[in-house]
A and B are shown apart, each in its own frame.
Chain A
Amino acid sequence: AQSVSQHNHHVILSEAASLELGCNYSYGGTVNLFWYVQYPGQHLQLLLKYFSGDPLVKGIKGFEAEFIKSKFSFNLRKPSVQWSDTAEYFCAGPPPEGNAGNMLTFGGGTRLMVKP
């Protein structure tokens, strides 16, 4: 069983549109969730992370994510996307069986294309 899942595989938006990418997690207990971004031809980079506290997390480049415990969700948002946001976005968390949180499993990724 996958611990994190992303249901949107491909998203196409025009510049200035608002973005929301879905991520759902399927485990209980301590929640440690991450969003990574992979620009074309590059490696994964951390956008933001959530462990506890304020469920609205601010990240780099104007991204934010909201942890909603009742929905087991950690969706990524950006009010106004730019062409340079074209990339693949990955949600990540610990595996279902747990291992003290030192291993990360990744969702299937969402490819975002922003049209200029």
Chain B
Amino acid sequence: DAGVIQSPRHEVTEMGQEVTLRCKPISGHDYLFWYRQTMMRGLELLIYFNNNVPIDDSGMPEDRFSAKMPNASFSTLKIQPSEPRDSAVYFCASKRLGARTEAFFGQGTRLTVV
């Protein structure tokens, strides 16, 4: 398996524009997580899915953020409209069911909003 695949790797956009980040989890994994990493706040969990269903989105900072998982092999995180404070590295991770299974992370998308 190629691991968790995220695209794009880098995104630079202007304030107010819509941004869509994409993630392909590892095949057979039951859980998908979206994290945001910044220097100030560290690694924050935004939302996670179980079998394509959103379970906990309490980490989503504002209504400008939305995430979907239309099928087991694809998820998106959308920011509309984007703001400079959204600049961060966004990681997607997936794992199998069970407390003893580790999460596998994608390479991340570095988002810069100017």
Chain A positions near chain B (C-beta within 8 angstroms): 30, 32, 34, 42-46, 49, 51, 90, 94, 99-106, 108-109
Interface residues on B, range: 20 to 34
Scan B77-114; emit 1 where CB is below 8 A from any A CB, else 0: 00000000000000101010111101111111000000
How many inter-chain contacts with C-beta < 8 Å in the A-B complex? 49
Task: List residues of chain B with CB within 8 A of the CB of A45.
Answer: 105
In the bound assembly, the distance between CA atoms of A101 and B98 in angstroms comes to 7
Alpha-carbon distance A18/B102, docked complex (angstroms): 27
- Is B42 in contact with A109, judged by CB distance below 8 angstroms? yes
Q: Are A43 and B91 in contact (CB under 8 A)?
A: yes
- The distance in angstroms between the C-alpha atoms of A109 and B106, with both chains bound, is 18
Q: Which 7 A-B pairs have the closest CB atoms?
A: A101-B99, A43-B105, A44-B105, A106-B43, A32-B99, A46-B102, A108-B42
Which residues of chain A are within 8 angstroms of B93 by Cβ–Cβ distance?
44
Among B42, B98, B105, B106, contact of A102 (Cβ-Cβ < 8 Å): B98
B91 and A102 within 8 A (CB) = no
Residues of chain B with a CB closer than 8 A to A46's CB: 102, 104
